[in-house]
């Protein structure tokens, strides 16, 4: 054995400490030797041996790297004047590390956008705008004016020949030809005047419907003499309060009802023409005597509120008492 080999001290192999699973869960107990270990270098960054610092300056270098890394993390998130946080992107990856975002900041990033207004199912995105406007502002709103009620009665009769959008597009022509739906003026129309009710050379309605409108105007004048107004006559059938059916689905909405059949029969006995149960039910819906907006439609509650705010006149109560035997 040589002298050099005797002088060499035996090299003890370093035993790497391992993590111990303690009673506090997945937390590791780290020994002092691991705390003094040199952190692993980033594999993407290579240093030459000449540029490496000695071990004595190791603690200072770690402080520098930790401070630089924290500053880089802080700089990676930009805060605007409005309080919005804009994450930075590196290599296509969005980083938002070690940042506590307040609730107000989250609301600014994701504001609450109200959804579309819910209407009755027969109003679709492809519906005519004038029809949508009629649904949103008129259909189902309680009407107490005699001329307006007579206008809606005529429109309900015209539904046998036209659709609601077509009628609404011709509303100005209807009002001009029918003297703003004044029953006293329409009752004086002659046969020659009826044949002159044309739009672009064509009769605005069939001859049967035109003659029925004149006869109905005369019947309205008789009703006004008996009940004071055409409005009192119409509303007395529902005790002067709109009926709220509260249908949930469109398939539940009927085309006629027992109430409409009763009103239709009473009107025919008074000389009205072309006032079948289907026509009368459409008239009740349009005039707000019946609220047939679906419950999911935003207009259902608005029409209910509008009917509750209507003032009750003493004359209405008097007429109700005098003609109560006709109620159903």
DSSP state letters, 108-164:
HHSPPPP-PPP--TT--TTS-HHHHHHHHHTTT-----HHHHHHHHHHHHHTTTS-H
Looking at residues 254-260, what average pLDDT do you find? 95
User: What integer pLDDT is reported at residue 311 of this predicted model?
Assistant: 61
Check if the beta carbon of residue 323 is closer than 8 Å to that of residue 223.
no
For the annotated binding site for Zn(2+), the residues are 120, 135, 293, 297
pLDDT grade, residue 306 (50/70/90)? confident
CA distance linking residue 149 with residue 147, whole number of Å: 5
Tokens of 184: 């006293």
Q: Which of 16-30, 108-122, 146-160, 295-309 is predicted least confidently?
A: 16-30
Q: Which of 16-20, 301-305, 324-328 is predicted least confidently?
A: 324-328
Residues 65-95: pLDDT tens digits?
444 444 444 444 444 454 555 555 555 545 5
User: What integer pLDDT is reported at residue 114 of this predicted model?
Assistant: 52
Residues 150-179: pLDDT tens digits?
999 999 999 999 999 999 999 999 999 999
Fold of the 129-326 domain: Endonuclease III; domain 1 (1.10.340)
Tokens of 16: 């790497």
Q: Which of 9-13, 19-23, 211-215 is predicted least confidently?
A: 19-23
User: 20 or 211: which carries more pLDDT confidence?
Assistant: 211
What single string gives the DSSP state of each residue in 257-271? -HHHHHHHHHHHHTT
Which residue reads 């009473």 in tokens? Answer: 266
User: 55 or 233: which carries more pLDDT confidence?
Assistant: 233
User: What integer pLDDT is reported at residue 117 of this predicted model?
Assistant: 83
Check if the beta carbon of residue 237 is closer than 8 Å to that of residue 262.
yes
pLDDT grade, residue 314 (50/70/90)? very low
Which residue reads 């949508």 in tokens? Answer: 132
pLDDT grade, residue 304 (50/70/90)? confident
Indicate the helix (H) or strand (E) that contains 87. strand 85-90
Which residue reads 């009703």 in tokens? Answer: 223
pLDDT at 22 over 50: no
Q: Which of 35-49, 193-207, 244-258 is predicted least confidently?
A: 35-49
pTM: 0.62
pLDDT grade, residue 251 (50/70/90)? very high
User: 196 or 113: which carries more pLDDT confidence?
Assistant: 196
Segments in the chain forming alpha helices (H):
3-7, 32-35, 58-75, 103-109, 129-137, 146-158, 164-169, 171-177, 183-186, 191-195, 207-227, 230-235, 258-269, 277-286, 298-308, 314-322
For the annotated binding site, the residues are 120, 135, 293, 297
Tokens of 265: 């029969």
36 vs 17, 56, 257, CA distance in Å?
Answer: 12, 12, 90
What's the whole-number average pLDDT of the chain?
75
Which residue reads 């391992």 in tokens? Answer: 18
CA distance linking residue 191 with residue 238, whole number of Å: 36
User: What integer pLDDT is reported at residue 220 of this predicted model?
Assistant: 97
CA 239 to chain centroid, in Å, comes to: 33
Looking at residues 94-123, what average pLDDT do you find? 59
Tokens of 112: 């609450």
Radius of gyration of the chain (CA): 42
Residues 186-240: pLDDT tens digits?
999 999 999 999 999 999 999 999 999 999 999 999 999 999 999 999 999 999 9
pLDDT at 17 over 80: no
């Amino acid at each position: 054995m040589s002298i050099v080999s005797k002088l060499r001290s035996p090299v003890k192999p370093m035993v790497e400490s391992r993590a111990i699973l303690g009673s506090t869960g997945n937390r590791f107990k780290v020994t002092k030797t691991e705390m003094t270990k040199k952190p692993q270098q980033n594999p993407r960054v290579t240093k030459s041996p000449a540029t490496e610092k000695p071990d004595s300056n190791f603690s200072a270098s770690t402080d520098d790297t930790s401070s630089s890394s924290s500053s880089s993390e802080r700089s990676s998130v930009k805060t605007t004047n409005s309080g919005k946080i804009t994450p930075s992107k590196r290599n296509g990856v969005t980083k938002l590390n070690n940042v506590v975002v307040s609730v107000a900041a989250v609301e600014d990033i994701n504001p609450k956008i109200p959804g579309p207004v819910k209407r009755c199912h027969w109003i679709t995105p492809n519906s005519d705008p004038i029809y949508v406007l009629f649904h949103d502002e008129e259909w189902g709103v309680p009407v107490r004016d005699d001329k307006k009620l007579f206008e809606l009665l005529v429109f309900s009769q015209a539904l046998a020949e036209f659709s609601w959008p077509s009628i609404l597009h011709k509303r100005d022509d209807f009002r001009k030809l029918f003297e703003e739906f004044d029953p006293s003026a329409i009752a004086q129309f002659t046969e020659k005047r009826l044949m002159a009710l044309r739009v672009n050379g064509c009769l605005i309605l069939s001859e049967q419907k035109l003659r029925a409108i004149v006869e109905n105007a005369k019947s309205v004048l008789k009703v006004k003499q008996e009940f004071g107004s055409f409005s009192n006559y119409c509303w007395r059938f529902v005790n002067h309060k709109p009926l709220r059916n509260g249908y949930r689905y469109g398939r539940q909405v009927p085309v006629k009802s027992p109430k409409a059949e009763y009103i239709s029969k009473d009107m025919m006995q008074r000389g009205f023409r072309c006032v079948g149960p289907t026509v009368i039910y459409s008239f009740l819906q349009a005039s707000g005597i019946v609220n047939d907006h679906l419950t999911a439609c935003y207009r259902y509650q608005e029409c209910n509120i509008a009917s509750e705010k209507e003032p009750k006149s003493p004359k209405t109560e008097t007429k109700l008492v005098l003609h109560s035997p006709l109620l159903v």
